[in-house]
Amino acid sequence: MPIDFHLGPSEANIRAAAASFAQQVLKPSRSEYLKYDKSHERFQATQLSYVAAAKGGLIKGQVSPRHGGSGGSLVESAILVEECYAVEPSTALTIFANGLGLTPLNIAGKPEHAKFLAPFLSGEGAPLASLVFSEPGGVANAWEKGAPGLRTTARRDGDEWVINGEKQFATSCAGWDFKGCDLACVVCRDVTEPAEPESDPKDHVMIILVTRADLDRSGTDAFQVIRHISTPGHTSVSGPHVRYTNVRVPSENVLCPPGQGAQVASASFDVSAVLVGAMSVGIMRAAFDAALDFAKRDNRNGRMPLLERQAFADLLSGIKMQTEACRALTWKAAHAMENGPGDYDARRELALAAKIYCSDAAVKACTDAINAVGITSYDLDQPFAELLNNAMVLPIFDGGNVGIRRRNMQELMQSPTYDAWASTYGSTEKK
């Protein structure tokens, strides 16, 4: 029987190492960044924690072994993410978003792209990678036929590509000094030749690798932070509104030529969808633990412990059950993405389901914990408000759940070859 939820030696070691890193590095970082009021200053205050992550092999572990990295399975990544998110989500997100920034290279990288990955394999410094996709005004409908497509453009000019446009909410895209990260996977639209009025926008989507050296070489006005965006949760994360102006990169920096960029960008978010599930589980776990701890030391001046109150216990047991269910779904999706069964669409559906279901459940778990604890949870000295603020972004980043249901889940079900249970039982023959 292949189904076994016992952690193997590798998974158990990763969980133990992640728990130690979360307590010894991530947790202290929170007290450091809270010394600052502005989000971009808080982001800079987490750099030492990021250096520790690189030194400990976490950044090299985000690169596929076929590209020289030490990355393990997606299940192992989910275990790592959960442990860190249960302790300190904000600092952890900067580390894990770097993995998203490297995912297009893991998927589509060729030997000639090795030089772009070198800084992330060294275990030194604090190199930042970013998948630069979202734009002002949103990108939810940018790939519909007849739509204008992405506003950030690239134009071929001899042996170079020239990039212009604005992006926002791309984690760490501005780097530690806000002059540009070490490596940006910029998702943009080829405008070298005019597009036909009813052409498919995806046919023009490409991904170009932009290094800090490319930005510096393009001039002081080539990259600009227009605004640092403050958010209610993950308050030490940087995802500013930025502008590229006549950024010139050599043609060798093209990771995905026009027509291939949309598929790789989408596949990158399929991988991160599983990890959003793990982030959700980490926050749900923290909400349950905080509410349980409160119940053990407070009876609301009643004659019996809170856990003997059925209403309170029902709320907590609901959080616990949902946390276990979400973890199981996340682990299953992580395993299926790499091992099957089913074709890629079946496995992808499961990954997206983990993202949608778990992130929605995380928000509910936090509100249930708040309802259980009562007015005391509204005190900022309690963890509940921060947990809710951190959870609220999970249904809306890396693709909003509403859009994923419409663009992805619905389209998958409409396919003539849709096989509903292939990711569990394998492909079935239609009779």
Q: CA–CA separation, 104 vs 395, rounded Å? A: 22
Q: CA–CA separation, 119 vs 109, rounded Å? A: 15
Q: CA–CA separation, 192 vs 212, rounded Å? A: 24
CA–CA distance from 197 to each of 56, 297, 414 (Å)?
51, 66, 26
Q: CA–CA separation, 16 vs 84, rounded Å? A: 11
* DSSP H/E element including 241: strand 241-250
Angle at 407 between CA 404 and CA 408, to 5 degrees: 65
User: Smallest Cα–Cα separation from 271: which of 184, 206, 344?
Assistant: 344
Backbone phi, then psi, for 207, in 5-degree steps?
Answer: -125, 125
Other C-beta atoms closer than 10 Å to the C-beta of 423 total: 25
Please pick, among 182, 203, 214, 398, the residue that the annotation labels catalytic. 398
DSSP letter at 206? E
Q: Which residue has the tokens 């969808």?
A: 273
Tokens encoding 156? 């071929």
159 labelled catalytic: no
In this structure, the strands spanning 160-167 and 205-211 are unpaired
In this structure, the strands spanning 183-190 and 129-132 are parallel
Residues identified as active-site:
398
